[in-house]
Amino acid sequence: MRILALETSCDDTAAAIVDEGCWVRATVVVSQTQTHAQYGGVIPELAAREHGMAVNQAIAAALTQAECPLESIDIVAATVGPGLVGALLVGATAAKTLATILGKPFRGVHHLQGHIAACYLKSAPESPDWQPPFICLLASGGHTQLIHVRRLTDWVVLGETLDDAVGEAYDKVGRLLKLPYPGGPHVDALAIKAAQEGLSALLENGRFPIARTENPLCMSFSGLKTAVLRYVERHAPSPEDTMAWAAFQQMVAGHFQATIMQTLLGKIQRACEQTDCWRVALAGGVAANAGLRQTLQVWQQESPQRTVFLPEKRFCTDNAAMIAAAAFVSPWTHDRGEEVFSRAPITDRLTPT
């Protein structure tokens, strides 16, 4: 079973060819970062236009990389939601057109389903074989959810962010600290450097707050983002004093990331206790965060019953290989892109403390 998939939900035009839902023969990503950097965020109309210009190029590059003819494709898949409407239309239309020309079936895939399916991808024979059940922390710029993946096509959302996604909070803090776009990876790099240099002293007004939610498996990052904003407004040195400003950036990034890690690790621990499932996987763009990966590796080493799976970083951010994997494991997906995740009833969740 050979699947050609397209992913155009936001600002990356991606194409991939995957065999048997796991073996990655080719993966191509055409980035639009430079186009949107001048605006400090993604402009939907520009993203759709860039996708239209790049999608054929991405498909051709994937076929060349995989060294396979177009006629060998068995299924054509594409992300059909959620995402930017214009951007999604480009990828879905291209995939449907190609499927019609080839006389092959088309499968529409839910974007978040794709991120979970990235855990099943392999790029080499020695790649680990990861299968359900497991707890998945799906964290990206637009989503933050704790999902109990019970079977390949059976997922229950245990908790999620009530406001900002964790990746969104990273990017907003990056903007406050005047870091290049996108800010998230730069905040992560500064935080890792701060930890290495032992900058662990508390902030003058105490550490940044961790939000308490009615459902202890849900999260909130809006208050944390505001706390960083207020601290920067009150205590930031002049950017003209480059040494003091650099030290301030590093210190704030370190404390911000430490608060995020404490929040996420606490939620993961509770989810494992509730489900009695101690197998944890990361998914989504924030799964490439070095601090988060290190935190979970340490957490795993603290108990023999814990197992953590970290996908390759290139499969954490938006890519089409994960869409192909999702199309393979969930043959009932279709082009309407409707919700494929169920949510645990409130009575099945932990009682707030």
C-alpha to C-alpha distance for 21 and 75, rounded to whole angstroms: 11
End-to-end CA gap in the chain: 49
pLDDT of residue 198: 67
pLDDT of residue 189: 95
pLDDT of residue 347: 33
Rg (CA), the chain: 21
pTM across the whole model:
0.89
Structure tokens at 155: 């997922």
Domains and CATH numbers, the chain: 2-123+313-343 (3.30.420.40), 134-309 (3.30.420.40)
Q: What is the tens place of the pLDDT at every residue in 219-236?
A: 999 999 999 999 999 999
pLDDT of residue 343: 54
> Strand pairing of 144-151 and 134-139?
antiparallel
Structure tokens at 222: 């809006």
C-alpha to C-alpha distance for 325 and 332, rounded to whole angstroms: 13
**Helix segments in the chain, DSSP class H:** 33-37, 44-66, 85-102, 111-117, 166-176, 183-196, 222-235, 242-275, 290-301, 321-329
Strand blocks (E) in 8-43: 12-19, 23-31
Is 11 in contact with 88 (CB distance < 8 Å)? no
List average pLDDT for each run of 10 residues in the chain, which is 353 residues long.
96 96 95 87 92 96 96 96 93 96 94 93 86 95 93 89 95 95 94 78 62 93 95 92 94 93 96 97 95 96 96 94 92 47 43 30
